[in-house]
Amino acid sequence: MRLNRFSALKELPKHFPEVDVSPLEKIRYLFTNPEKLDDLFRSPDELMDVWYSAEAFFEEVIRSYIKKFPRNST
């Protein structure tokens, strides 16, 4: 259980050093700077860049997790 949305940001590199956490850092920055988030929503191309990088980040975390903790096939 995490204390807040972004508390895992420090832990992820410890457990999954191959994962680039910069997309999550960008999201944290936007979350704590609403005026920048508002600006982002006014720029569809930039918004899609953030969206796709966030999606790629979560896919990377999932791949790394599965690699580290493979499911027993029996």
pTM recorded for the entire structure: 0.79
Give domain limits for the chain: 20-65
DSSP string, 12-24: HHHH-TTS--HHH
Alpha-carbon separation of residue 20 from 36, 39, 41 (angstroms): 22, 25, 24
Q: What pLDDT, in 10s, does the model give residues 44-67?
A: 999 999 999 999 999 999 999 999
Can you tell me the distance from the alpha carbon of 53 to that of 55, in angstroms, rounded to the nearest whole number?
A: 5
Q: Residue 10's pLDDT is what? A: 87
DSSP string, 24-44: HHHHHHHHH-HHHHHHHHT-H
Residue 51 corresponds to which tokens in the numbers above? Answer: 């969206």
Q: What pLDDT, in 10s, does the model give residues 12-44?
A: 999 999 999 999 999 999 999 999 999 999 999
Residue 37 corresponds to which tokens in the numbers above? Answer: 């988030």
